[in-house]
Structure 1
Amino acid sequence: MIEAVIILSVLLALMLAGLIVWHVRLVRSRREVERLREVLRRQGKGLTRRERRAQRVKEIVESAVDTATKVRDRGVAGLLMSSMEDLARWSQEDRTEIAKVAARDGTVTILFSDIEDSTALNEQLGDDSWVRLLGSHDKLVRACVESFGGHIVKSQGDGFMIAFSAPADAVRAGIGIQDALSDGSDRRLRRTPIRVRVGIHCGTAIERDGDLFGKNVAMAARVAAQAGGGEILVSDDIRAALHDVEDIVLVDGRDTELKGIPGVHRLWEVAVI
């Protein structure tokens, strides 16, 4: 009698484990479908209801076949081990991007940059020369970001949105960009000088599909919009975070209103020597 109870308990546990695995895979499939829908929505190619339903059915069937194959090849124990590995990997994938940019307290430092008067410069140079100039600019910015451990969230035509763990690293990267633009080492940039404006702010942000959102992201963009060509502006929060950093000098604090953000905000210019 006891043996029968034990066997029944084991069978029930295995069935429950199988249901958990199936549910996890189903949730994962739905998430992938939603991600695909979001990508296509951004491209103006929304899925029809029939296409969404067909995609879900396809994902579920593929998951079920994969599960059955693992049971056949590895047994239930092998399936459970594989599922644990999948869960660990999915968890790692989900936090990879935010882990790259978040400090220990959960904040992130966001740097926006763009080329001053880029539209007029494009018109002056023509598309082919403009694209080549952008290539030199992008290479320079990426090198500076890499040097200071930043993460490029996205490129926005003539500018970048970049995230750093530490405010000091973001500011040093901004200084590096301005120094590299002015040292004349790139032949194309030496022949056609460009002026880049940089704005930096820090705070919490929301990560979704490798992008960052939230009021602090908007704040960083507004700070950058106040900068002039060749200038690096930082928020008062960045200034506070740099209070004991000796190699960064802030000058010319000024109060300004930022579009869409209530109140008056003090911005500080970074001295680029």
Structure 2
Amino acid sequence: MLTTVIVLATALALTSAGWLVTDLRRRRARREVQRLRRALDRRDSLTHQRPAARAMRAVVGTALDAAVRMRDEGVGVVVKSSLEGLARWSQEDQSQLARLAGDDGRVAILFSDIEDSTVLNDQLGDAEWVKLLASHNKLVEAAVLAHDGHIIKSQGDGFMIAFGSAANAVHGALDLRAAIEAGDRRLRRRPIQVRVGVHVGTAIEKDGDLFGRDVALAARVAAEAVGGEILASDAVHDAVADIPDLHLIEAQTVELKGLPGTHRLWAVDTAN
């Protein structure tokens, strides 16, 4: 009997000690969160809520909120909630890409990049190159927005963009070329040449990216272009043949790496 009492008393003491340690950890975590929030508030007052400061505060604030929720609700609940949020984001992104596709399920795919970008980067240095890229990227984004496109991804100086129709893609490419030629102050001081390839077809969407034979074909078409040139596939030529303000000139017949047969490419120009 005495042994049992001793065992129960020991267990109770250990449980109480464990509860005290957990409570102390919670209190310590709560104090740390409060301290960090006060530091952020002081930073805001010093920076007068500049955009960069607001963005940083939002990111850190989200992390702090997650920490508080983990403390109060447990890791499992927070992780489950985060996964549900990611699933909703993925579904929204997929529906946006689905809305771009035409009635036949096809989408126009455009690839662009800056000619001799590696050489330019070496000549300008990293700091100036990044500023040049920022000017270029703004013009790309404006052309895409003007023609209801969707930037799938950007890697360095290159873009992969989807449009709802071949006509929108070609008009967007022409607007981009004109904007690059006009340039902003930085681009007028250091002109660049952008090469573009356009194809229309079907694609598989996964995690916000596009895959498939037609995506690869669009990339290969872009690789054949030189700076300032917009090349289009036969499929694009056929799709815009009846649009009076678009004029495509037969440019070349080539073999495209990884794709069988030969492929006729068309150079895009404005109508005479």
Tell me if both proteins adopt one fold, taking TM over 0.5 as the criterion: yes
For 1:127 and 1:198, the matched residues in 2 are separated by: 24
Q: Is the 1:97–1:210 Cα contact (8 Å) retained in structure 2?
A: no
Return the offset for 1:90: 8.3
Equivalent in the alignment of 2:199: 201
> After the TM superposition, which residues 1-273 of structure 1 pair with which residues of structure 2 at under 5 Å, given as runs?
62=77, 93=92, 95-184=94-183, 186-272=184-270
State TM-score, norm by structure 1. Answer: 0.66
Which structure: larger Rg?
2
SS at match of 1:103: coil
For 1:104 and 1:173, the matched residues in 2 are separated by: 21
Q: Is the 1:100–1:151 Cα contact (8 Å) retained in structure 2?
A: no
For 1:130 and 1:99, the matched residues in 2 are separated by: 35
Taking every aligned residue pair, what percent have the same amino acid on both sides?
58
Long gaps (5+) in structure 2: 1-73
State TM-score, norm by structure 2. Answer: 0.66
Q: What whole-Å deviation, never above 9, does each CA across 1:211-246 have from its counterpart, x for those lacking one? A: 000000000000000000000000000001112111
Return the offset for 1:91: 9.3
For 1:99 and 1:246, the matched residues in 2 are separated by: 28
Give the residue type in structure 2 aligned to 1:106. Answer: G
Q: Is the 1:115–1:197 Cα contact (8 Å) retained in structure 2?
A: yes
Give the residue type in structure 1 aligned to 2:227. Answer: G
Return the offset for 1:62: 3.2
For 1:213 and 1:192, the matched residues in 2 are separated by: 35
The count of aligned residue pairs is: 193
Q: Greater CA deviation, 188-197 or 99-108?
A: 99-108
Return the offset for 1:93: 3.0
Q: What whole-Å deviation, never above 9, does each CA across 1:45-99 have from its counterpart, x for those lacking one? A: xxxxxxxxxxxxx98x539x99xxxxxxxxxxxxxxxxxxx9xx68953732422
For 1:181 and 1:242, the matched residues in 2 are separated by: 23
SS at match of 2:246: coil
Q: In angstroms, what is the RMSD of aligned CA positions?
A: 2.4
Q: Is the 2:94–2:208 Cα contact (8 Å) retained in structure 1?
A: no
For 2:90 and 2:225, the matched residues in 1 are separated by: 39
Q: What whole-Å deviation, never above 9, does each CA across 1:102-135 have from its counterpart, x for those lacking one? A: 1121111000000000000000000000000000
